[in-house]
Structure 1
Amino acid sequence: MQTIKGPSLHLAQFSDDVFPFNSLEAIAGWAAENGFRALQIPAWDKRLFDVNLAAESQQYCDEITDMLAQHGLVISELTTHIFGQLMAVHPAYDALCDSFAPPHLHGKPEARTAWAKQQLLAAVSASSRLGLTEMGTFSGSLAWPYVFPFPQRPAGLVETAFDELARRWLPILDACEEQGVNLCYEIHPGEDLHDGISFEMFLQRTGHHPRCKILFDPSHFVLQQLNYLDFLDIYRDHIGMFHVKDAEFNPTGRQGMYGGYQSWADRAGRFRSTGDGQVDFRAIFSRLTQNGYAGWAALEWECCLKNKDDGAREGAAFIRDHIIPVTDKIFDDFAAAPVSQSQIDRLLGITTTEAEHHG
C-alpha cells in the first residue's frame, strides 16, 4: 500500500482571461495559497501551457518546473481531453467539436483529427520531458449516438466503431510506450469508453496495450448508477489517475438519468462540489489505498451551485482530510510474541511424529 498524493488541482475549469487565472504563474500562486500541492495542466490551454514548445524544449519544461517549485508545487499530470475528443467525432457532433480546433480546420474532419493526433503526440513528449508518468484524455466517440438500442442497431455497427477507435489510438499508445507514459482514458458519458464493459472492448482491440489505463472520476458513475467501488476492485490494475469530483442523483416521477434535456441545475443527476453530493469518498480513498493506487488525487470542480473559489478552497481541505497516511505497522503488533515452530505445532495439536511425517 502507498499513501495517495494530493491535493492536486485540475486547471481546466479555473483558467480564465482575468487575473489570477490568466497565466500559469499567477494561478500557481493562487492554488498554493488555497492549499494545493500540485497542478494538473490542460495541454490545450495556451494561456497556461505551450504543448508544442514543451515537446521540443527541455529548457521550457525546466523553467515551468522551477517556477512551480517556487510556489511549493509540482505538475501532477497533463490532460489532453480536448485533443482526445477530436480523435473520434461522430458527424452529428462535427459543428460542436469544430470549436476545439483552430479555425482553419473547421469543416475539415479528417484534417482536424490529424491535428489532434499530432497534439497528443506532442503532449506525450512533453509529459516525458516533465518527468510525468500519467496523462489523462478522452477516447472520443463514434458510437455514442447509438448508445440506446432503438432504432435497433445494425449487426456489426458497435464492433466496427471500436475497431476503428482502437486503430486510431494505437499509434498514440505506442508512442506512450516509447516515452514511458500511461494514457489514462476518463470513463465518461458521451465517450465511447463510458463504463467498464466499453473499456474492456477497447482494451481487447488494442491487444491489452500496457499503456492503456483509466482516469477514475466517481461523479460519472453516480450519474450512470454504476457501482464505483466494485469498479475500483475490478480495474485496480488499470487505474492511473483519479479525479475528486462529487455528484448527486435524485430521480423523480418526471425525470431520471437522461435528464429531460434540462440544464445542469435542473437535472436529476448533476455535479456538485466535493462534500455536497452523494459520492462516498471515504470508501473510495480507502479502496484506492488498499488497492495500492500510487497516484494523485486531483480536484476537478464542476458545480452547478457553488462558486469556484469556495469550491477550490474547500476541495483542497477535503482531499487532505480524506488521504490515508499508510501505516508501516499492524495495529495489534503490541500484543505479538515470538513463537517457535514447535510451539505452533502444539497450538495446532500436531504431535512430533506427525510433524516429522509431514516434513
Structure 2
Amino acid sequence: MKTIKGPGIFLSQFIGSEPPFNTLEGLAGWAASLGYKALQVPCNHPHIFDLQKAATSQAYCDEITGMLAGHGLVISELSTHLEGQLIAVHPAYDLAFDGFAPEAVRGDPTARQAWAINALKQAASASQKLGLKAHATFSGSLAWPYFYPWPPHNQVLLEEAFQELAQRWLPVLDCFDAHGVDVCFEIHPGEDLHDGATFEHFLAQVNHHPRCNILFDPSHLRLQHMDYLAFIDRYHARIKAFHVKDAEFAASGRSGVYGGYQNWADRAGRFRSPGDGDINFKGIFSKLAQYDYDGWAVLEWECCLKDGETGAREGAEFIRRNIIPVADRAFDDFAAGENDRASARRMLGL
C-alpha cells in the first residue's frame, strides 16, 4: 500500500490583490508557514502562473519548481476548472460564464470554446514540463439545464449532449495522453459529470480513455445524498486527485438539496471547513489508503461560515492528522509459518 501525500492546498480561493496573496512566491511562503507541502495552482491568473509561458518554456517551469522547492513545496496539480467549464457551455449560461474567458473571445461561443481547448492543451504541456502526473478540471455542461427534466426525460437530447461533450474532449484527452498526464474531472453539480452515472456515460462515449479520470471531492457527493465511501469502492481505479472539503446536510421542512435559491449559509446543505461538517474523513482516508491512492490530499476551502485563513491553518493539521502512514508488513507476519506448496498440502492432510 501507498501513503497519501499531503497536505496540499488549492490556491484559487486565496489569491488576492494584497501581499502575500498577489504572487506565487508570496502564496508559497504563506502556505509553507501553515505546514503545507504542495500547491494546486490555477491557470487563470497569469500574474500568479503564466500558463502560456509554462507550456513552451522548460526554463520557466524549472524556475517555478526551484522557487517552490526553496519553500519546501511542490505543485500537486495544475487546475483549469474555469477553462474546462468553457469547453462546453449551454446557451443559458453564455453570459454567466463569459467572464471566465479573455475579453477577445467574449460574446463568441465558438472562439471561446477554441480558446478553452487550447488552454487545456497548454496545461498538458506545462504539466509534463513540471513533472506532474495529474491535472484538475471541470467537464463543462451541455445537459445541465435538464438535470431534473420537465418536460419529461428526453433520451435523444441527453445522448446528443454526451456525444458532443465527448467529441470536444477526446482531442484534449489524447493530448494529455501524449504528455503522460491524467485528466481529473471534478465530479460536481453544474457539470455534466456530476455523479457516478454521468461519469460512466461520458467514459463510455470516450471509449474508456485511460486519461479520463476523477477528482474526488466528497462534499459534492454528500450534498447529493450519495454514498461517497461506496463511490471510492466503485471508482477507485479512476480516482487520481482528491479535494479535502467538508459539507453538512440538515434536513429541513423548508428547502432541500436544490437550495431554494438561498445563500449558502441558509441552505439545508452547506460547504464547511474540514472537520466542521458531517463527512466521514476517517473512512475516506482509510478507503483511499486501502486502494493505493498515491496522489495528494488537497484542501479546498469553501466554508460558508469560517474565515479562510483560519480554515487554511486548521486544514493543514486536519489533513496531516488523517493521512494514514501505511504499514510495510502485515501485523500477523510474526506468526507466519512456511508457505511453500508442499507444506500447505501437509497442513491439509493431502
TM-score, structure 2 length as denominator?
A: 0.98
Partner residue, 1:264: 264
Partner residue, 1:78: 78
Secondary structure, aligned partner of 1:193: coil
Shift, 1:113, TM fit: 0.6
CA distance in 2, matches of 1:241, 1:339: 38
Partner residue, 1:276: 276
Give me the CA root mean square deviation. 1.2
Whether contact under 8 Å (1:127, 1:181) holds in the other structure is yes
CA distance in 2, matches of 1:38, 1:229: 25
Partner residue, 2:171: 171
- C-alpha offsets along residues 100-153 of structure 1, whole Å, 9 cap, x if unaligned? 011222211111111111111111100010010100100000000000021223
Partner residue, 1:144: 144
Shift, 1:293, TM fit: 0.6
1:225 equivalenced with 2:225 (yes/no): yes
Q: Which runs of 5+ in 1 are unaligned?
A: none
Partner residue, 2:332: 332
CA distance in 2, matches of 1:335, 1:104: 69
Shift, 1:269, TM fit: 0.6
Secondary structure, aligned partner of 2:294: coil
Corresponding letter in the other structure for 2:273: S
Counting only pairs closer than 5 Å after superposition, residues 8-47 of structure 1 correspond to structure 2 as 8-47=8-47
Partner residue, 1:203: 203
Partner residue, 1:60: 60
Shift, 1:68, TM fit: 0.3
Secondary structure, aligned partner of 1:298: strand
CA distance in 2, matches of 1:111, 1:90: 15
Partner residue, 1:291: 291
Secondary structure, aligned partner of 2:53: helix
Shift, 1:346, TM fit: 4.8
Whether contact under 8 Å (1:251, 1:257) holds in the other structure is no
CA distance in 2, matches of 1:48, 1:325: 33
Corresponding letter in the other structure for 2:36: F
Whether contact under 8 Å (1:51, 1:122) holds in the other structure is yes
CA distance in 2, matches of 1:105, 1:253: 45
1:89 equivalenced with 2:89 (yes/no): yes
Corresponding letter in the other structure for 2:161: A
- Runs of 4+ aligned residues of structure 1 deviating over 6 Å after TM superposition are none
Shift, 1:285, TM fit: 0.3
Corresponding letter in the other structure for 1:98: D
CA distance in 2, matches of 1:189, 1:343: 56
Partner residue, 1:2: 2
Corresponding letter in the other structure for 1:60: Y
CA pair 345-65 structure 1, distance change in 2 beyond 3 A = same
CA pair 51-340 structure 1, distance change in 2 beyond 3 A = closer
CA distance in 1, matches of 2:341, 2:62: 57
- C-alpha offsets along residues 259-301 of structure 1, whole Å, 9 cap, x if unaligned? 1110001011110000000110000000000011110000000
Corresponding letter in the other structure for 1:329: R
Partner residue, 2:317: 317
Shift, 1:239, TM fit: 0.5
Shift, 1:181, TM fit: 0.6
Whether contact under 8 Å (1:83, 1:119) holds in the other structure is yes
Q: Which runs of 5+ in 2 are unaligned?
A: none
Shift, 1:236, TM fit: 1.1
Shift, 1:48, TM fit: 1.1
CA distance in 1, matches of 2:184, 2:340: 48
CA pair 249-58 structure 1, distance change in 2 beyond 3 A = same
Shift, 1:164, TM fit: 0.1
Corresponding letter in the other structure for 2:119: Q
Identity value in percent: 60
Counting only pairs closer than 5 Å after superposition, residues 338-357 of structure 1 correspond to structure 2 as 338=338, 344-348=344-348, 350=349, 355=350
Corresponding letter in the other structure for 1:163: Q
CA pair 165-343 structure 1, distance change in 2 beyond 3 A = closer
Secondary structure, aligned partner of 1:235: helix
TM-score, structure 1 length as denominator?
A: 0.95
Partner residue, 1:249: 249
Shift, 1:330, TM fit: 1.2
CA distance in 2, matches of 1:52, 1:342: 63
CA distance in 2, matches of 1:104, 1:47: 18
Secondary structure, aligned partner of 1:177: helix
CA distance in 1, matches of 2:223, 2:115: 32
Shift, 1:206, TM fit: 0.5
Partner residue, 2:214: 214
Partner residue, 2:308: 308
CA distance in 2, matches of 1:57, 1:28: 21
